[in-house]
A and B are shown apart, each in its own frame.
Chain A
Amino acid sequence: MSGGPFRAIGIASTGVTVYRKWLDAVSDNISNLNNATTTAGEAFRERFVIAQAVDYGSGNGGVQVGGIELGSAEGRLVHEPDHPLADENGYVRYPDIDLGSQMSQLMMAQRGYQANLSVVDRAYDAYQAALQLGRNS
């Protein structure tokens, strides 16, 4: 689907893929929100998907995941002496992920996903019309 006569659908599908990956990253971040670790270990690092234009300037390259950035491994220390992973001072390490920011990213990713799917819908109509060319006599 990378080239050919139905390129608009291929471009939209690159967008769908990137937003799908972003949704995956956000749900991974949220599901690991409360991962406790020992103070000696690293906290779960949140993932940021970096979108990058393919062949920028050509106008028909689409988008790809250019890389993943990781959040802080330091996290935050919480005093929970009863926790099985607590150190001698009673501290455990939690990831420093803000649920509010994750939720707004979730909405952005979802909106982008839907926008790209509706491009597929509209492009499909246009290509269908083109395929009808010469059918009516």
Chain B
Amino acid sequence: MLDDVASSAVRVALKGLAQRQRVIADNIANVETPRFLAGRVQFEDALRTAVEDGTSPQEVTPEVARSLEPTRENGNNVNLDHETLTHMDTVLRYQTMLKALDSKYSLLRSVIRGGA
């Protein structure tokens, strides 16, 4: 019941978004660190492919890559505006995924109670 594709996909998304939040926090903490390249978390494409191909979304793991955007004089390429907006977006996506999971649990709870 809880390892259906939808629930697994939502859980993988939550995991990836939580990691993205940590990486953004790391980027902002290092906004003035010399030679620091911003981290980027990728999992959406892999997740989409897994869902489309019918393979298990649980196999998808978020990947952290380093941004190759041009750096400032100190070798740092963290863009505070971009990180702030991405963080807001990530938090909202995270909350959306939580709502989706919550609906799933409500459905289950309703079944357990026999619709009462």
Contacts and interface: CB of A to CB of B under 8 A. Distances in A.
A98 B105 CA distance: 61
Contacts of B22: 7-8, 11, 59-60
Interface string B13-53: 00000110111111011111110100101000000000000
A51 B25 contact: no
Contacts, number: 103
B33 A53 contact: yes
Contact of A59 (B23, B31, B88): B23
B64 interface: yes
Q: How large is the interface on A (under 10, 10 to 19, 20 to 34, 35 or more residues)?
A: 35 or more
Q: How large is the interface on B (under 10, 10 to 19, 20 to 34, 35 or more residues)?
A: 20 to 34
- Main SS of the interface on chain A? helix
A116 B91 contact: no
User: Which residue, of B22, B26, B36, B102, has the highest number of chain A Cβ atoms within 10 A?
Assistant: B26
A52 B33 contact: yes
B55 interface: no
B113 to A, nearest CB: 9
A106 B106 CA distance: 51
Contacts of A123: 21, 25, 91
Given A51-B34, A134-B102, A18 B95 contact: no
A126 B28 contact: no
A98 B36 CA distance: 27
B19 A59 contact: yes
A40 interface: no
